[in-house]
Amino acid sequence: MHVQDQEPSPNPGFTDRSRCEQPVLTTQRIHDIVKEVTLDITGITARGFTSRLEALIDELVSSLVPLMAAEESVLCDDVDHALGDALRQDHREVRGLVERLSMLSAGLDRRSLGAPKKEPVLLAALQQMTIALGRLCTHELATMRHLDEALTTPTEWARLAATLDAAAVDAREHTMLIVRPAIPPTDAHVLRNRPDLTSAYAVSLAEIERQSHRSA
The model's pLDDT over 28-77, given as tens digits with 9 standing for 90+, comes to: 999 999 999 998 887 777 778 888 899 999 999 999 999 999 999 999 98
More confident residue, 136 or 214: 136
Q: What percent of the chain has pLDDT over 70?
A: 69
Q: What is the dihedral of CA 24, 30, 35, 37, to 10 degrees?
A: 180
Give the confidence band of 118 by pLDDT, cuts at 50, 70, 90: low
Q: What is the dihedral of CA 192, 66, 60, 135, to 10 degrees?
A: 150
Long-range contacts of 70-73 (CB under 8 A, 24+ apart): 70/23, 70/164, 70/165, 70/167, 70/168, 70/171, 71/23, 71/140, 71/143, 71/164, 73/167, 73/171
Report the alpha-carbon distance of residue 25 to residue 49 in Å, rounded.
25
Give the confidence band of 20 by pLDDT, cuts at 50, 70, 90: very high
From the CB of residue 189, how many other CB atoms can be counted at a distance below 10 Å? 11
pLDDT for position 132: 97
Give the confidence band of 21 by pLDDT, cuts at 50, 70, 90: very high
Q: Rounded to the nearest 10 degrees, what angle do helices 22-40 and 118-150 cross at?
A: 160
Handedness of CA 141, 142, 148, 151 (dihedral sign): negative
The verdict on domain 14-215 having CATH code 1.20.120 is yes
Report the alpha-carbon distance of residue 209 to residue 192 in Å, rounded.
23
